[in-house]
Amino acid sequence: MKINRSELITEQQNPRSTEIDKKSISEILEIINEEDSTVSDAVKKVIPAITQVVELVVTALKDGQKIIYVGAGTSGRLGILDASEIPPTFSAPRRWFTGVIAGGREAVFRSIERAEDLPDNSHGDLNKLELNSGDVLIGIASSGTTPYVIEALNFGKQNDCRTVFLICNPTSLNSFDYDIVLPVAVGPEIIAGSTRMKAGTATKMILNMLSTASMIKMGKVYGNLMVDLQVVNEKLRDRGTRIIEKLTNLNYEDAGKMLRRSGGSVKTALVMINNNCSKSDAKELLNAQEGNLREIIGDLAV
């Protein structure tokens, strides 16, 4: 059945930019900036739904399941971006978050537009990830009509996965039977149909929110400090040392020594210092508390 996409808000002409081609460069930029400023309010309205998604994600991760972003074009690239940044930021296992894009690896770097219209390809792409019951599939499609993404979610349901659909229209042209539908109404784009703009911004904001909030609830953060980091370069060595210095009575040099003794783990070093214990004992304590540092060292001034 042919979909009448002209009804979608993201396909409408924006009355604020109808003559944007006549504007000066500075006027064009002002229009874009004014429209971008509306995105945050649109996202704020769906915080209750984002909260539900975070609860779903945290439960799945604690149960040993994985989170899979699925999208096409810009949506797929944004999912891959968020998934790829979680391991280095939070020392999270790479299997926790994965991004899948219609068209595969090549589509990350150059447009393969027809790939979104090949829904059955999603089966093979997801099968490569060895779907398990309880995994969470988060489909991303600004229009809410992308065949590849819809079929991926349906395939996920058939495999007893939890399903979330993030769309950038207030309502959908289709009816969906997913665990959570997250509709963020960003309104018409500055250039009609160019959903890499406001819809893309809203998508990145929401993915940042749900992954960051999930990592906080997984014990990857203490206060607002990234304590669950592993020293793999000089920048992270300096950051880790400064975190230890801030949370203890040690000076920078001694904090660095403890970081080295811990094997480059800020969390382990902090437990060693706070509990006056060995590295192995600190690791045992962290494992017993599922990595939640606050449960071990309590409330410090952060």
pLDDT, tens digit, for every residue of 173-214?
A: 566 789 999 999 998 888 887 888 889 999 999 999 999 999
* 106-125: average pLDDT: 87
Mean pLDDT for the stretch of residues 51-70: 97
Percent of the chain surpassing pLDDT 90: 69
**pLDDT recorded at residue 191:** 86
pLDDT exceeds 90 at position 6? no
Higher pLDDT, 107 or 6: 107
Single-letter amino acid code for the residue at 144: G
User: Domains of the chain by range and CATH?
Assistant: 5-217 (3.40.50.10490), 234-297 (1.10.8.1080)
**CB neighbours (10 Å) of residue 253?**
9
Single out the catalytic residue among 19, 27, 85, 189. Answer: 85
Is the distance from CB of 72 to CB of 102 less than 8 angstroms?
Answer: yes
Residue 168: pLDDT over 50: yes
- Report d(CA 95, CA 20) in Å as an integer: 44
Question: CA 197 from chain center: how many Å?
Answer: 18
Out of 55, 106, 116, 290, pick the active-site residue: 116
What single-letter amino acid sits at 147?
P
Q: Which of 3-17, 125-139, 158-172 has the highest mean pLDDT?
A: 125-139
Q: How confident is the model at residue 255 (pLDDT cuts 50, 70, 90)?
A: very high
CA distance linking residue 245 with residue 256, whole number of Å: 8
- pLDDT over 70 for what percent of the chain? 94
> Above 50 in pLDDT, residue 147?
yes
Q: How far is CA 65 from the centre of its chain?
A: 16
Give catalytic status of residue 116 as yes or no: yes
pLDDT mean across residues, the chain: 90
Q: Is 253 a residue of the active site?
A: no
Q: What is the sign, positive or negative, of the torsion defined by CA atoms of 59, 60, 64, 69?
A: negative
Rounded average pLDDT over 206-231: 92
Helices and strands (H and E) in the chain: how many: 13, 5
State residue 111's pLDDT score: 82
Neighbour tally for 48: CB within 10 Å: 8
Q: What is the pLDDT of residue 101?
A: 94
> Is pLDDT of 1 > 80?
no
Per-residue pLDDT, averaged over 132-143, amounts to 94
Alpha carbon distance 148, 39 (integer Å): 26
Question: pLDDT tens-digit profile of 87-98?
Answer: 988 889 999 999
206 neighbors 182 (Cβ within 8 angstroms): yes
Q: At a CB cut-off of 8 Å and minimum separation 6, what does 212 contact? A: none
d(CA 144, CA 139): 9
244, containing H or E segment: helix 234-247
The reported pLDDT for the residue numbered 171 is: 66
Backbone angles phi, psi at 50, to 5 degrees: -60, -40
pLDDT at position 173 is 57
Nearest to 60 by CA among 86, 94, 87, 97: 97
The answer to whether the CB of 204 falls within 8 A of the CB of 78 is yes
CA dihedral (253, 254, 258, 260) positive or negative: positive
Burial class for 57, CB neighbours closer than 10 Å (0-12, 13-18, 19+): buried
Q: Give pLDDT tens digits for 61-85.
A: 999 999 999 999 999 999 999 999 9
Under 8 Å between Cβ of 141 and 110:
no
User: Do 268 and 282 contact (CB within 8 A), yes or no?
Assistant: yes
Residue 301 pLDDT: 52
